[in-house]
Amino acid sequence: MKTAVSVPDQVFEEAEHLAKRLRLSRSELYSKALAEYVARHAPDSVTESFDRICAELDAEPDAAFQRAARAVLESTEW
């Protein structure tokens, strides 16, 4: 999809330098940047991804981690 956006001159220049350093086209850089921004602002997708990874691991909880978590919870004032 083509689109036109306006960005401040300084942001444009920094993006140009970054694209050259990463050997990406301007479109690739902007697309990657926008995708990352959208992902960071979609907390449900982060939770879903984490849940999916945990389900794939299908492992028993680590006993040491459970003890440490319990100790933190017991020492925390609710």
With 0-12 / 13-18 / 19 or more C-beta atoms within 10 angstroms meaning exposed / middle / buried, residue 51 is: exposed
In this predicted structure, what is the pLDDT of residue 29?
A: 97
CB-based contacts of 45, cutoff 8 Å, min separation 6 = 39
pTM above 0.85, yes or no: no
DSSP conformation letters of 7-22: --HHHHHHHHHHHHHH
Pick out the chain residues at pLDDT < 70: 78
Q: What is the reported pLDDT for 73?
A: 87
Domain spans in the chain, listed from the N-terminal domain onward: 9-75
Tokens 């919870």 sit on residue? 73
